[in-house]
Each structure stands twice: as structure tokens, then as C-alpha cells.
């Protein structure tokens, strides 16, 4: 256990500059920082999650295995007969009456009807819209620190800590913050400020969505809204119903406290309600109230969200009507959800509480990277059998089986010269399963660890890094800003598969897989239109 714990730690020597006062004045000072790394979850895959993925695949794909067998058997039988022999068997050696033929046709029609009606309808993504705040809400890293200092809510140590976080966050100088958080001697986390921030973001995204899709709000049958920290009464979903005067029998849901992965959960809920109710159209709204994540205290674990979370919102229109296939952009292929809340460390890794001065804030645990790595391990291992090519599945499963049958050999360290790779696990090539990756843009460090552990290229996470640099961590809506980036670049073609992966408090890790049903042309309205041509060069210049 001690060896495993030590393997998750990394050390870093930090130059703290020249000592200004004291007996060591004028001398350079250094400190050693010990941090937790994202665990190599491919080294410790649990076999039960591999079985879960294959069970999910088999339970939903039995007909894919039986139909080819039936076709082969019938084809072999019919292929052995000549045309005259086949005609003789059908008409010459059998006698039919009208009642028999009609009964056969009736049974066949009934069977086909039951099969078609019992199949869940595919869920299509018609379009989506991302909120772009007004330019006056832009804040650079230097302006962030200066406004925070002028607010009088932070001491110099807290400001220095937030400045160091911003420097290595991966966020650029054009992300958006509500100005109320910087107002001196005021509490920004009020119901009035929260409603104003949430309504501005949600209504702007929904106005654009309804206009782009040419859909009336009264046509929507299902509404799902997710916002983790701001949950007023009446709810945010009720605010939308009231603002757009939606119909009285709408199925509306409001998801709160579910963190940055709630966007995928909202899509999953909307899909289930569409299939259960036949409502036709569903709208998903994902947002976060930054004023309620703002912490004006001194505890460092609670200051972390200040440096990363930024204003953002996304609205998505889903449909299970077959006639919408021709105008849809994507079809939902899979949703895989993982919840690690049974583990106490995972449950408390992202935790809202009060500090010693009874100031409310969102505390980020030191265990977050490790907890997130285990959740990712479970989620990806379950998703793998559903999306990876058979050759990748075979190699990956063989490696997992070998490590469980021969743990002593699998744990033997490889030679220092790298001459033998027998002990190294086989890392599946997820680039063969997906053309595009939309990983939750939490921070630069998280994206770097994801790239390393999944064996991805820097270009695979370009959309995630660009969204982080331009808009910051917009919580559950970040995966939609990343997809908007790919569309603005004109990279999504028919048949391309998109992997959206998000994780958040609880601790949860969720994946959604989409397949493009047509080539997605560069949209006329997008939060990226005025700057997409400057990426990735702009974020490379800030590295």
C-alpha cells in the first residue's frame, strides 16, 4: 500500500525568488512541492468493469450476431438449388390456399410491426447553441488579480496563491466573469445576482437555439436543466417555462449538485424521457452560476474554483422523430455513466462547505486527481467494448486477463534500458474508435494527464485546450464549447464519431458518444467565429 501511495506522488522544485527580509535577505530561496498525479488507470483495470462492458454490448446486440447466422444458413441452403429446383420446391411440391397465404402474411406483418414498435427510436441532436457573454465581462489574468485586490476580500497570500494557479491554469486573457464577484464589501452569492446571471446566460443560449432550429418553445415536450450550485425556488427550469410560456404538459426537470459531468447526465435523462413518453423534442440546458462558486476567504482548497470557473452556458435540442433525421447533425450512440460516491474519499473530493469563518465555498481535495483517475478507469473500461474495434478489444482484454492470472509477472518492473516491454500493459488506441475528442476542460494539468494515459496526440485535445484557453472552465457546458470549436474549424464529416467525456462531484465520470449523420458545415453563428482562425496558434503562444 505504501509503495502504491508513493507511486502517485510527484515532486517539483519551485524557485520562490530572492528573500526580501530576515537573516537570509538577498539569498535565492527554493521549496519542494509534493503533488498527487493522475493514477495510471490502465495499469489497474478491474476485470469486473470489462465484463460489464461486454455484458452491455451483448445484451444490446444479440440480433447482430443471430441475423448473420440465419442469413448464412439460408443462403447456403438456397445456393445449393438451381432456379428450376427452387421454383419446384416453392410451387410444385407445395399446395397453398388463400387462407394459408393470408394467415402467413398477417403473422409476418404483425411480427415486423411488433419489432419496429419495440425498438427504441434513435435520438438525434438537431443543433446546439453556446452562450457568448458580453465583451465587458472579459477579464484577463492580470485584471483578475487587480480586481480581486481592489475588492478588499483577499489578503496578499490568497492573491499570490490565485495568481500562481492562473499562471499554470491554461486559461487565456479573454474568459468571462460576472463583475458582481469583484464588488467590494458585498456578498455576490445572493438570489438576485444568481437569477440575473443564470437567466442572462440561459435565455441568450435558448434564443439562439430556437432561432437556428426554427422551433417554437411550445413544441418542446421535455426540458432538462442542470446547474450544480445555484438551485432557487422556483427552479431554473420553471424560469425557462415561464419566460417562454411553454405548454402546460411539458416534462421539466432540474438537476442540481451534480457537478461538471451533469451535462451528459442531462442528455441521458432527456433521451430516456423521449423514448418513454414519445414527446418528440427535448431541450437540455447546461450552465453554472459563477457567483455561487466564488469564495472570498482564505482557505486554499476553496480558492481553487475562483481561478478556474468562468461564465458559460449551452442549450441543446434533441429529437426522436424520424422525420428530423434529415436536418439533424448527430445521432446519440452510447451513454456510459460511472458513480464513485460509495467511496468516502471520492464523495468528499469536491465538497461544498463553510470554512472556519463560516464563509461558504467549494472545497477541492488533494485526492481529486487520484479519485478522478479511478472513475475514468471504470468508465473507459466499460465504454471500450462498445466502441473499440475487435482487434483493439482482443489485445486489451488479453492484457487485462494476463495481469489477473499472473499478477507477479505483470508487476515485474521493466529493465532500465527498455529492452523488454513484457510487463507494460497494452493501451487501446482510442483514435481508432473516435475521430474527435471533447474532454472536459478542467485545467491544463488534467488534460495533460489524460493525453498521456490515453495515448492521445496533442492535436486530439486541441478543442479541449482551445476551449479552456478562450472560455476557461465553464463546468458542464465545456464539452459543447469544444464541439462548437470542431464545427467552426469545419472538421466534422459524415460518419465521424465524437467522444464527450466529463467528470464532476460525487464523484462521477460520464461519457457520451455521438455519430455525425452528415457533414457539419461551418455554422453562421458560433462563439468561435471571431477567433477560431487564431487557434491553436494563440494558445501555443501562451504556453
Q: Is the dihedral of CA 21, 25, 30, 31 positive or negative?
A: negative
416, burial (CB in 10 Å: exposed 0-12, middle 13-18, buried 19+): exposed
User: Helix/strand/coil (H, E, C) string of 268-300?
Assistant: HHHHHHHHHHCCCEEEEEEECCHHHCCCCCCCH
Identify the H or E element spanning 438. strand 436-439
Contact, 229 vs 289, CB < 8 A? yes
The pLDDT value given to residue 95: 56
Grid cell, residue 482, equals 469544444
d(CA 92, CA 86): 9
Grid cell, residue 389, equals 474495434
- pLDDT tens track for 396-417: 777 777 777 776 665 555 444 4
The pLDDT value given to residue 423: 47
The pLDDT value given to residue 420: 44
Give the residue extent of every domain in the chain. 48-77, 123-390+428-541
DSSP letter assigned to residue 252: E
Find where cell 509503495 sits: 3
The pLDDT value given to residue 540: 67
d(CA 27, CA 19): 6
Neighbours of 264 (CB within 10 A): 29
The pLDDT value given to residue 473: 97
Q: Which residues of 110-139 are buried (b: 16+ CB within 10 A; e: fewer)?
A: eeeeeeeeeeeebbbbbbbbbbbbeeebeb
The pLDDT value given to residue 69: 59
Q: Is the peptide bond before 501 cis (omega within 30 degrees of 0)?
A: no
CA within 13 Å, CB half, 130: 26
Q: Which of 187, 227, 235, 181 is nearest to 205 (CA)?
A: 227
The pLDDT value given to residue 114: 72
The pLDDT value given to residue 239: 97
Strand partners, 313: 287
DSSP letter assigned to residue 497: E
d(CA 124, CA 267): 11
3-class SS shares of the chain: helix, strand, coil, % to 5: 50, 20, 35
Neighbours of 21 (CB within 10 A): 7
Q: What is the full DSSP assignment across 292-359?
A: GT---SS-HHHHHHHHHB---EEEEEEE--GGGGGG-SEEEEEEEEEE-TTSHHHHTSEEEEE-TT--
Q: What is the mean pLDDT of each run of 10 residues along the chain (543 residues)?
A: 51 56 58 52 49 51 56 62 63 61 78 70 96 95 94 93 94 93 82 94 98 96 96 96 96 95 97 90 96 92 95 97 94 96 94 93 92 90 88 77 68 48 63 95 92 91 96 97 97 97 94 97 94 86 60
Grid cell, residue 355, equals 470554512
> Any alpha helices (H) in 127-175, and if so which ranges?
141-150, 156-167
d(CA 41, CA 380): 10
Grid cell, residue 535, equals 487557434
Identify the H or E element spanning 64. helix 62-79
Neighbours of 99 (CB within 10 A): 8
Grid cell, residue 35, equals 503533488
Which are the catalytic amino acids? 260, 339, 436, 440, 469, 473
Grid cell, residue 511, equals 461519457
Q: Which of 453, 451, 455, 474 is nearest to 527 (CA)?
A: 474
Contact, 430 vs 499, CB < 8 A? yes
Strand partners, 129: 315
Supply the pTM of this predicted model.
0.81
d(CA 120, CA 142): 52
Which CATH superfamily hosts domain 123-390+428-541?
A: Thiolase/Chalcone synthase (3.40.47.10)
Amino acid at each position: 500500500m505504501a509503495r502504491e501511495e508513493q507511486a502517485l506522488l510527484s515532486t517539483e522544485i519551485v524557485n520562490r525568488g530572492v528573500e526580501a527580509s530576515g537573516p537570509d535577505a538577498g539569498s535565492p530561496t527554493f521549496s519542494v512541492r509534493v503533488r498527487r498525479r493522475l493514477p495510471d488507470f490502465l495499469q489497474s483495470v478491474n476485470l469486473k468493469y470489462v465484463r460489464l462492458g461486454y455484458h452491455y454490448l451483448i445484451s444490446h446486440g444479440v440480433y447482430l450476431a443471430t441475423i448473420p447466422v440465419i442469413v448464412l444458413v439460408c443462403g447456403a441452403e438456397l445456393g445449393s438449388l438451381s432456379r428450376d429446383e427452387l421454383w419446384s420446391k416453392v410451387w410444385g411440391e407445395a399446395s397453398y390456399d388463400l387462407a394459408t397465404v393470408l394467415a402467413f402474411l398477417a403473422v409476418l406483418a404483425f411480427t415486423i410491426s411488433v419489432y419496429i414498435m419495440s425498438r427504441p427510436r434513435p435520438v438525434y441532436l438537431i443543433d446546439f447553441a453556446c452562450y457568448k457573454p458580453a465583451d465587458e465581462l472579459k477579464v484577463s489574468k492580470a485584471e483578475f488579480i487587480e480586481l480581486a485586490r481592489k475588492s478588499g476580500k483577499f489578503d496578499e497570500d490568497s492573491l499570490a496563491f490565485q495568481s500562481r494557479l492562473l499562471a499554470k491554469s491554461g486559461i487565456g486573457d479573454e474568459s468571462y466573469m460576472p463583475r458582481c464577484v469583484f464588488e467590494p464589501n458585498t456578498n455576490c452569492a445572493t438570489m438576485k445576482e444568481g437569477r440575473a446571471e443564470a437567466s442572462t446566460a440561459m435565455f441568450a443560449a435558448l434564443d439562439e437555439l430556437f432561432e437556428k432550429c426554427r422551433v417554437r418553445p411550445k413544441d418542446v415536450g421535455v426540458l432538462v436543466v442542470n446547474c450544480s450550485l445555484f438551485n432557487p425556488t422556483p427552479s431554473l427550469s420553471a424560469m425557462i417555462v415561464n419566460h417562454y410560456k411553454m405548454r402546460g404538459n411539458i416534462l421539466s426537470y432540474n438537476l442540481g449538485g451534480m457537478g461538471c459531468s451533469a451535462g451528459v447526465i442531462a442528455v441521458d435523462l432527456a433521451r430516456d424521457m423521449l423514448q418513454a413518453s414519445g414527446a418528440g423534442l427535448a431541450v437540455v440546458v447546461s450552465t453554472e452560476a459563477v457567483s455561487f462558486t466564488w469564495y472570498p476567504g482564505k482557505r486554499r482548497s476553496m480558492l481553487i474554483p475562483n481561478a478556474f470557473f468562468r461564465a458559460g452556458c449551452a442549450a441543446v435540442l434533441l429529437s426522436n422523430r424520424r422525420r428530423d433525421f434529415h436536418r439533424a447533425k448527430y445521432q446519440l450512440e452510447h451513454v456510459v455513466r460511472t458513480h464513485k460516491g460509495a467511496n468516502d474519499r471520492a464523495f468528499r473530493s469536491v465538497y461544498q462547505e463553510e470554512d472556519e469563518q463560516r464563509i461558504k465555498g467549494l472545497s477541492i481535495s488533494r485526492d481529486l486527481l487520484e479519485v478522478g483517475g479511478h472513475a475514468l478507469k471504470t468508465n473507459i473500461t466499460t465504454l471500450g467494448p462498445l466502441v473499440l474495434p475487435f482487434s483493439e478489444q482482443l489485445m486489451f482484454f488479453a492484457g487485462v486477463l494476463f495481469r489477473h492470472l499472473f499478477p507477479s509477472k505483470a508487476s515485474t518492473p521493466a529493465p532500465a534500458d527498455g529492452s523488454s516491454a513484457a510487463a507494460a500493459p497494452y493501451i487501446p488506441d482510442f483514435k481508432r474508435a473516435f475521430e474527435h475528442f471533447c474532454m472536459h476542460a478542467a485545467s491544463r494539468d488534467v488534460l495533460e494527464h489524460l493525453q498521456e494515459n490515453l495515448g492521445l496526440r496533442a492535436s486530439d485535445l486541441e478543442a479541449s485546450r482551445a476551449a479552456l484557453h478562450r472560455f476557461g472552465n465553464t463546468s458542464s457546458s465545456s464539452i459543447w464549447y469544444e464541439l462548437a470549436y470542431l464545427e467552426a474549424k469545419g472538421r466534422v464529416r459524415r460518419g465521424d464519431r465524437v467522444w464527450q467525456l466529463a467528470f464532476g462531484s460525487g464523484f462521477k465520470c460520464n461519457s457520451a458518444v455521438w455519430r455525425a449523420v452528415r457533414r457539419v458545415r461551418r455554422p453562421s453563428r458560433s462563439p468561435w467565429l471571431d477567433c477560431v482562425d487564431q487557434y491553436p496558434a494563440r494558445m501555443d503562444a501562451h504556453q
